[in-house]
Amino acid sequence: VPILRDPARPPGEAVFYFPGCGSERLFSQIGLASLAMLAETGAQVVLPPGYLCCGYPQRAAGETERAQAISTGNRVLFHRIASALSYLDIRTLLVSCGTCLDQLLTYELEQAFPGSRLLDIHEYLVERGVSLEGVPGVKYLYHDPCHAPMKRHDPVQVASRLLGGAPVLPSPRCCGEAGTFAVARPDVATQVRFRKEEELRAGIRAHTGRERAEGGAVKLLTACPACQQGLGRYQEATGLETDYIVVELARRRLGEGWEARFVDRMRRGGVERVML
């Protein structure tokens, strides 16, 4: 089991981070940015020993037995992690995907980690006081996923606070991706995307008075890997570049090339491995 911490900082609170499929395999920069920003807080970050799926995709596809097998295997593993690392007193479990969060809520995690809470990465960073000094010249739209990951704080306010009070407007309606929905029912998804495009244009007009986002003056943020994939389909029509809140935060706070620098820092004494 890997435990990540910034070797240049004194050890802080221990948290468990579950990346899931979307933040590890689909858009790995989401998981990396989450780890980088957690390191900025001084947290000790416990990770699963290897790639894990939460089981929700199988459950949504009607493969109930397979989903149950995945969930049961994960729950057993979490109990083993909690037992082996009991000295860390883990009280916060983090995800960067609303679908993973919804599935993990069925795991009865408080039995493995007594007194713990399950939280979205962005809400945790806000609670820890992480914030930029401002993002001059950029305004944002925020797309709240159907599987909304932020349950404790208003997501638009979370985005604005993390980005130093930058103007953030909500962009309503489903993006049309919905996991495999865009692939399974492209006829319906196309209709959903048509209405979403209208909302995106309305958001751009509210920020700039124009029909398209030009020169990066308006960016689109979300907190769902599937939504990031779906929202990317609108870039040609609207000019909007889509990114995760935590990735935008890491890029603005740590500077270009932050990924390689963070990995290098962790390789130089930032990873401890504990045998289960």
Span 169-198, pLDDT tens digits:
999 999 988 767 777 788 887 888 899 999
Tens of pLDDT, residues 54-109: 999 899 889 999 999 999 999 999 999 999 999 999 999 999 999 999 999 999 99
Residues in CB range of 218: below 8 A, 6 or more apart: 138, 139, 140, 141, 203, 204, 207, 208, 239, 240
pLDDT of amino acid 109: 95
Residues in CB range of 176: below 8 A, 6 or more apart: 182, 189, 190, 192, 193, 196, 230, 233
Tens of pLDDT, residues 241-275: 999 999 999 999 999 999 999 999 999 999 999 99
Cα–Cα nearest to 35, from 10, 3, 9, 78: 3
269/65 Cα distance (integer angstroms): 41
What would the two tokens of residue 28 be? 């790995």
pLDDT of amino acid 60: 87
Residues 236, 268 within the same domain: no
What would the two tokens of residue 50 be? 């290897």
Residues 120, 211 within the same domain: no
Say if 133 falls within a structural domain: no
Residues 123, 230 within the same domain: no
Say if 191 falls within a structural domain: yes
Give the range of the structural domain holding residue 246, as residue numbers without chain letter: 139-252
Cα–Cα nearest to 162, from 178, 150, 174: 150
DSSP 22: I
